[in-house]
Amino acid sequence: MHIIIVGCGNVGSTIVEKLSKEGHNITVIDTKSEAIKNITINYDVMGYVGNGASYSIQKEAGIEDADLMIAVTGSDELNLLCCLIAKKAGDCHTIARVRNPVYSREINFIKEELGLSMVINPEDAAAMEIARVLKFPSALKIDTFAKGRVELVKYRIEEGSALCDQALKNISSKLKCDVLVCTVERGEDVYIPDGNFILRAKDEISVVGTVKNGMLFFKKLGVSTTRAKSAFIVGGGETAYYLAKQLVSIGISVKIVERDRDRCEELSELLPQATLIYGDGTDKNLLMEEGLPQAESFVALTNFDEENIMLSLYVKSISKAKLITKVHRISYDEIIGGMELGSIIYPKYITAETIVKHVRALHNSIGSNIETLYRMNNDRVEALEFIVKEDSPVVGIPLLELNLKPNILICSINHKGNIITPGGQSKIAVGDTVVIVTTTTGLHDIKDILKG
């Protein structure tokens, strides 16, 4: 596909990185020549310096032959204008990043009137991911499938856990829970395990199952499944706003520390049920005075990665709060990997996953559509949910007889609302949604799980 991306900031460059790996013909536009220079050196893409909302610039970049325009500049209005012009000039699919809460409330109207294929809000998406984790603080990460009926929960095995030194084939019979352990991350290695795989302390496992079965599994392990009752947030940006709005709606007490007085006052009006504190979130005395040691969860959401990392390390030293740390720079992955900062949230990863899913859905064959896509374990594993259409070669055949590629696990089948943890004799039917976990990244269609 020919894809034009306007905006080469954090989000734009991440999208370029992900989509260039998928083999697409990519052209980037940005007003900053340095940004264009860096991205064209690092990736095999064409670059144009200029205003992405200019018809002449879009025409020069090839909008008339483009399949998709993605506008992710720092301005909502510019992004919407880029997409509007692209739609008129090239009649291509369009995706816009829209962050302002005012526009978010009207997003369906905007999407319909401008003919947008998708609207991306990285801050809102990050807030949704954080809120899911705070409902089950023992998890490192929670992804959902089948419209929320199936969850994939990432969890670190603690010393002394009933899972330690156990083979996977013994766990289901021992705990009598209908779940699957679909990935294991051990140090630098990632496994899609079979029944003989032995779990160890400090392994990070991903468990997939219905919400009910997943909760039952962790309860039997003695892991707390109750949601956090309070959240202490440092940083009052858009992510904090969207998060606080979700948390107060489900009865979680929220306290936000923000150093900008005007923003603090604005948030106090927008979030009357939350407690707003004007002050420096890195001031230890302030944090102690406001009861940080008693908080059940701590969320570092400042605009500075270093600040968020240091805050989480400090809170880890003084409390047992669930830690959530927002990080923008991918380059910090290796540094912070061993720090045990709780759940690490990368807003631009979330955005890139959503866009890659959409691009693959546009690009795929007739056999299925990608409903959901998550990248896991530093992009080495993908979890995908396919909607199975007619004419798919996987339909009606027992899973045991399917000639699957290596390192592919069929984790869940949603058959007319009935969630099935599949066995060897299970069959996939037309209309089912199927969750696949694999280290073979880049699948576009469910038939891609089969050997050629």
**Are 205 and 161 spatial neighbours (Cβ–Cβ below 8 Å)?**
no
Count of CA atoms in the C-beta half-sphere (13 A) of 263? 14
**Are 388 and 412 spatial neighbours (Cβ–Cβ below 8 Å)?**
no
The pTM for the full model equals 0.84
Are 2-120 and 230-345 the same fold in CATH? Answer: yes
Sequence-distant (6+) residues with CB within 8 A of 170 are none
Domain spanning 2-120: which superfamily?
A: NAD(P)-binding Rossmann-like Domain (3.40.50.720)
**Burial (0-12, 13-18, 19+ Cβ within 10 Å), 104:** middle
Which residue ranges make up each domain of the chain?
A: 2-120, 230-345, 359-449
DSSP 305-352: HHHHHHHHHHHHHH--PEEEEE---GGGHHHHTTS--SEEE-HHHHHH
Residue 119 pairs in a beta bridge with: 96
pLDDT digits (tens, 9 = 90+) for 387-437: 998 778 999 999 999 999 999 999 999 999 999 999 899 999 999 999 999
**CA torsion, points 31, 33, 39, 40, in degrees to nearest 10?**
120
pLDDT digits (tens, 9 = 90+) for 262-286: 999 999 999 999 999 999 999 999 9
Instruction: Write the DSSP symbol of residue 427.
Output: B
CA gap 221, 240 in Å, rounded: 32
pLDDT digits (tens, 9 = 90+) for 191-239: 999 989 999 999 999 999 999 999 999 999 999 889 999 999 999 999 9
Give how far the C-alpha of residue 402 lies from the chain's centroid of Cα atoms, to the nearest Å.
30
Q: Which amino acid is at 57?
A: I
CA gap 367, 392 in Å, rounded: 5
pLDDT of residue 440: 86
pLDDT of residue 331: 63
300 closest CA partner among 315, 286, 285: 315
pLDDT of residue 383: 93
What is the fold of 230-345? Rossmann fold (3.40.50)
Q: Count of CB atoms within 10 A of residue 422's CB?
A: 19
**Are 18 and 352 spatial neighbours (Cβ–Cβ below 8 Å)?**
yes
pLDDT of residue 365: 46
Strand order of the sheet with strand 189-191? 141-145, 150-156, 204-210, 180-186, 189-191
**Are 341 and 316 spatial neighbours (Cβ–Cβ below 8 Å)?**
yes
| Residue numbers of the chain with a pLDDT score lower than 50 | 365-366
What CATH class has 359-449? Answer: alpha beta
Residue 233 pairs in a beta bridge with: 256, 299
Q: What b/e string do you get for 224-251 counting C-beta neighbours within 10 Å, with b at 16 or more? A: ebebbebbbbbbbbbbbbbbbbbbbeee
Q: Which amino acid is at 361?
A: A
